[in-house]
Amino acid sequence: MMAKQEILSVLVALLAFIGCGTAFQLPRHVASSTRTGVEGSGAPPAAGSGNAATAPTATSLGMAPRFDKATQKWFTTSEEEGPSAGYNVIGSLYRAGPVPFLQRIVNADTYEQAVLKYMAQEGCDRVEAQGNMDAFLENPQDWAYQKMSEKNGGARKDYANANMDPQQIILSTVWACVVFAFAYDLVTGVAEGRYGKADGTDILHGNIFSLPSF
């Protein structure tokens, strides 16, 4: 029988596998480098400009993150731009769901570079940049549509505080606990044979590992 620690590892690995390929796969016109950007860094395009040439540069923003041409990486110039000024992976999970949460774990450096690049392009603080990055990873098309709407005079969406009202946090927490409890019970039940031995081809009443092959 599988140990509970092994079962938890299987669940985490499964979630990571699901989220690994869903983000940072940007269209070519989005991933193209800008005058101040990293080629293929994964940052959303500048929301306030139609092309890279009109995006604000790190130099013009003063205290914005800077780009090191030698290392081809963005770096912070003050503590207000670093990770401690933003929110952690749980904040990403509440704001935009499991995709940005998993991407921050499996692609931490790419996520950090994308956030710093967005801060430099938009001249915003870290929390706003993270909120936009999380929304972009969760659904690039919806994020791009929202930014286009804002550019044309539409209402501005506050991604930095999305889904962070107390009621939504409680609902999200309860839902996450229910889903995890169900998944844990399913995996442990199958591994320990609590759902009975395989009987024909009915998965709901048999051990999935013992089903006959076809």
CB neighbour class for 113 (10 Å; exposed up to 12, middle 13-18, buried from 19): buried
Q: What is the DSSP letter of 155?
A: P
What is the per-residue pLDDT across 107-156, written as a single tens digit (0 to 9) for each? 999 999 999 999 999 999 999 999 999 999 999 999 999 999 999 999 99
* DSSP-H helix ranges across 37-107: 89-96, 98-106
Burial letters 193-207, b for 16+ CB under 10 A, else e: eebeebeeeeeeebb
pTM reported for the whole predicted model:
0.61
What is the per-residue pLDDT across 151-180, written as a single tens digit (0 to 9) for each? 999 999 999 998 888 888 888 888 888 888
Which regions of the chain does DSSP assign to beta strands (E)?
66-68, 73-75
State which H helix or E strand residue 88 sits in: none
